[in-house]
Chain A
């Protein structure tokens, strides 16, 4: 792809953005809030990973630690989900958004103290909510289990404080053009509170409560988790490569079709269920129409990368972000496929669905968040990652782990589904057929958790090391290293 010449029609301030100066000021303004968000995200990542491993062990060793209520599978599994979704993923995305928005709009983060307070309030909500789940306080709706009176309001207040500060930053911006990542991030911060309040409202009952449950559940995935992750991909790929995204027209199409179709997908979690058929059909149609934004994104990301995949050897950011982008295409195609009634007959209610959700929530969202943090952290702590070796250990542990996880549960989930489908086959067979997959999932999960501890340790080292004095402000631009790492220690 040939280079585009600098476009004189755009005002210079939009290009050089005041040069280095505005970047340093933007980074300085988001430093504390983003670091707090990232640190807490990592705490929840470790906790959530441990809960996940424990839950996985309990499925094939059902009597493992089964004596106490707070360790029973049904509570530990839920603690895992809420920790990784509202703890790790949400806080990592909040940290990413806090760093990106000031950079994108050339305006220092407004009201940083409000943001910090909001982050802490969010976390108090999480402690109450997840602690409550372990003690048996569960609202009874998947993805909405945290107590709606004592935990959820804190998330709403805390998240709201962060959201309004970002909005205020946006209002005071110094650029005239809003880059596509801004659309995704601001969209997410408008959509999420609406969804969260709606889903947690106590007045739904009957099958309508199921419809609302999955309207929330799928949109939390699509309009909160995916949205900010996609915004991050749109920023980091061009930024590290040093050239603009392949087609801005496609990103426009992708965003608005995603906004329009994604929100209608939710009922595909209830295919075959006691819901009005037209609702389910609407969601199936919308799920298939997702091919439009998904293809737009896939083409855009791929064509931007083409000829430059070598960057994955050098840049940890791109290694994670590009794999995450590929995973987004994969999980979306999976989703479209399984939304068709004939396929859902086999996969619904099986471990296949768990594998699918981890392709989305881990291989896509979490990988993109790892990539974001590998780029942003040096700019917050003002020095480079101390060890390329630790980055590589992190990468390979989590990649091999998730591969084993997904392949194992996908294959054995389908076998489980086929057994369930045949009425002559006793139910017992569906359980025994899935067991090898459950063991593989535990193996994958342990590797993933190990990778997380490596990452956490490395981040801890990052934060403890002092900033490095340089003639030029270091690492305000692209300087990450992963290939042939010995020299990195020298440079630092």
Chain B
């Protein structure tokens, strides 16, 4: 009686859903989602990591230095008063 529960609709839904899942699976196997951590870093380059940021705590700064190297200090007047 109810159109949405008719066989045609259910089969269409399964078909569409199945196609989407298949496409997703194929993309997964083709490596679209591999190495995600690296993908998250594409927007940052060396200098982004090395800038010293005034809001970071001593511990955070030390971690940053250990991971990337000596930090670049802000110039006079930047960040509102670094001397």
Contact = CB atoms under 8 A, between A and B. Distances in A.
Interface of A: 2-7, 9-10, 14-17, 19-20, 103-104, 175, 177, 179-181, 235, 238-239, 241-245, 248-249, 251-252, 278, 307-308, 310-311, 313-314, 388, 477-479, 481-488, 490-491
Given A248-B37, A249-B36, A482 B63 contact: no
Nearest to B24: A256
A181 B64 CA distance: 25
| CB-CB nearest 6 A-B residue pairs | A310-B55, A491-B77, A3-B67, A248-B40, A484-B80, A487-B77
Given A6-B68, A278-B4, A311 B51 contact: no
A19 B45 contact: yes
A481 B81 CA distance: 9
Interface of B: 2, 4, 33, 35-49, 51, 53-57, 60, 63-64, 66-68, 74-81
Contact of B42 (A177, A479, A488): A177
A478 B80 contact: no
B41 A15 contact: yes
Given A248-B36, A252-B33, 5 more contacts: A235-B43, A278-B4, A310-B56, A483-B79, A487-B81
A242 B37 contact: no
Given A248-B36, A307-B60, A7 B41 contact: yes
Contacts of A181: 43
Contact of B45 (A2, A15, A245, A308): A15
B77 A488 contact: yes
A314 B63 contact: no
Contacts of A179: 39-40, 42-43
Given A244-B44, A314-B80, A483-B80, A491 B75 contact: yes
B75 A311 contact: no
B26 to A, nearest CB: 15
B80 A10 contact: no
B56 A308 contact: yes
A477 B71 CA distance: 14
A490 B51 contact: no
A427 B39 CA distance: 57
A242 B64 contact: yes
Contacts of B79: 314, 479, 481, 483
A244 B45 contact: no
Given A307-B57, A482-B80, A242 B75 contact: no
A450 B36 CA distance: 44
Contacts of B66: 3
B51 A17 contact: no
Nearest to A471: B75
21 contacts: A2-B63, A2-B67, A7-B35, A7-B38, A15-B45, A16-B45, A104-B43, A177-B39, A177-B42, A179-B42, A243-B44, A244-B41, A245-B40, A278-B2, A308-B55, A311-B55, A314-B54, A478-B48, A479-B79, A485-B80, A490-B77
A483 B81 CA distance: 8
A16 B48 CA distance: 10
